[in-house]
Amino acid sequence: MNLESGKDRQSLGPMLLVAMNASVIIGLEGLPDMALYGVPLIFLFLVGAITFLIPVGLVSSELAVGWPGGGGVYGWVDSAFGRRPAVLAVWCQWVQILVWYPTGLSFGAATFAYIFEPKLAENPTFIMIVVVVIFWTVTLMNFRGLKTSGVVATIGLVLGTILPTLMIILFAAIWLINDHPIAIPQENRGFLPKLEGIRGLAIAAGMITFYSGLEVNAVHGSRINKPRSSIPFAMILSAVIVLGVYIFGSLGIALILPPEQIRADLNVGPMEMFRVFLETHNLGAISPILAACVCIGVLGHISTWVIGPTEAVRRAAKRRDLPAIFGKTNRQGVPTPLLLIQGVIVTMMTLPFLFLKDVSTAFLILTALSGTVYLVMYIMMFAAAIKLRYSKPHIQRHFEVPGGKLGIWVTSGAGILISLVALLLSFIPPEADQVDVGDPYLYVGLETGIFILILLIGLFIPMHPKRLPDELHL
């Protein structure tokens, strides 16, 4: 039995889809990175929305409505280019989140420390233990099915993302009203960013990965109520929420925390902002409550990612494109063996935290590697959208990227171009005064080597010689 069968089929309404979309994209752990830009972050986020977020939303909406049977990017790339490229696409989507999990979870673990003792956020052993506990808690919760994941995502979005963001905005406003010093350097108070050299461009281009994930829940296309209207509506509203949280949340942190303090605490930026504000106003007792709320948000964020990409992997396994064990499910239709395998891999990936002196450095390296792999998948998705307009014109699309064939070329072309630029620039190491990654040549070599290895595995994963047909009830 699976997620789509008979009486156990679990449906999604538009607002639940909005919550899942927003939860899968928004992560407060990304706010400190953008806060370093000061006021120009507004410009950068708007450019990222126009060149990447909107194209992803429009293209994935068209593909999800035209191919509502589920499977997400796996099904889309398969329809456009065939079996092997489809496996590579879903492999990149799944592996990037495996690489990212320690990053997002370390933010949750560091935030959890603020409930008891902020200094624990610098303790690698504490970080590792909490990371493992959080991830396995979320994994086991998802054994109960898609509805449970949706509820957790909704609660996490409201209590753990929107509420803390509103508090950031409120605290920043009070900070300004009370004439406290503005932490944004004078050179970062204009609207346009000053990007000096190739490294500056690399950092700016890399910010588009903050918008990644909007296509993930399209994998559940066959479970969405009224997909023709629900999917585009959810995409648009989700994008508005994401843009608002990122701009106002990052700007609020930038107003209170100086850049050097942000760099020193990349993995706890929002909580450090709360701590400084609350201690300034003798309200330190509230800090643990806010930390608990942010932790709930991390649970919602992780929960959506745990179940999203694994569903596409499950469908590929059901068609014999991936090992059969990835396709086995429990009575709720959840691919429990795959979730368990994923849990073991993530647990092993957290072990290096025990040997790292600086958690913030690991935070940055893992984020960069995750982004490079994900951008490969996006390039394939945009290319598939163009190809399908020509190869499958008979497919009824109740929502299309506006502008006909010219529109799909402009929209997908912009997505491909910005993804390629961001991919190439992502291999440039940061300046030593930003984050010290040691030998820059070793950094680039490791990132490039791991990136190539991931792609080679995806290209040569053994497949059954006779794949099964793509059916709605796989």
Output the six-digit token pair for 230: 């629900």
Please provide residue 12's backbone torsions phi and psi, each rounded to the nearest 5 degrees: -120, 130
Decide if 99 contacts 315 (C-beta within 8 A): no
Measure Cα distances from 2 to 70, 147, 153, 309, 340 in Å.
12, 14, 21, 15, 17
Quick count: other Cβ atoms within 10 Å of Cβ 342? 22
Please answer whether residues 176 and 255 qualify as being in contact, where contact means their C-beta atoms are separated by less than 8 angstroms.
yes
How far, in whole angstroms, is CA 137 from its chain's centroid?
A: 19
Residue-range domain boundaries for the chain:
6-459
The residue with tokens 């400084």 is 276
Mean pLDDT by 10 residues, the chain (474 residues): 40 72 72 81 85 86 77 88 92 85 79 83 82 87 73 78 84 86 83 65 66 69 67 79 86 84 67 79 83 83 75 85 87 85 86 59 65 90 95 84 92 92 80 60 79 89 81 46
In angstroms, rounded to a whole number, what is the distance separating the alpha carbons of residues 360 and 265? 7
**Cα gap 451→369, rounded to integer Å:** 7
Whole-angstrom distance, CA of residue 250 vs CA of residue 77: 35
In the chain, what is the straight-line distance between the N-terminal and C-terminal CA atoms, in Å? 9
Residue from 359, 367, 168 nearest 254 by CA: 168
CA angle 314, 212, 207 (to 5 degrees): 150
User: Which residue intervals of 117-209 are DSSP H helices?
Assistant: 124-142, 146-157, 163-177, 197-206
Question: What integer pLDDT is reported at residue 377 of this predicted model?
Answer: 93
For 419, how many CA atoms within 13 A lie in the half-sphere containing its CB? 25
The closest alpha carbon to 48, from 212, 207, 234, belongs to: 207
Task: Give just the sign of the alpha carbon dihedral 398, 399, 405, 406.
Answer: positive
Give the residue from 39, 50, 49 showing the smallest Cα distance to 194.
39
Decide if 412 contacts 382 (C-beta within 8 A).
yes
Q: What distance in Å separates the CA atoms of residue 228 and residue 388, rounded to the nearest whole number? A: 18
* Per-residue model confidence (pLDDT) at position 149: 67
- Per-residue model confidence (pLDDT) at position 2: 38
Per-residue model confidence (pLDDT) at position 472: 45
CATH number 3.40.50.1970 given to 6-459: no
Which of these, 231, 239, 308, lies nearest to 64 by C-alpha position? 231
Residue 430's pLDDT is: 64
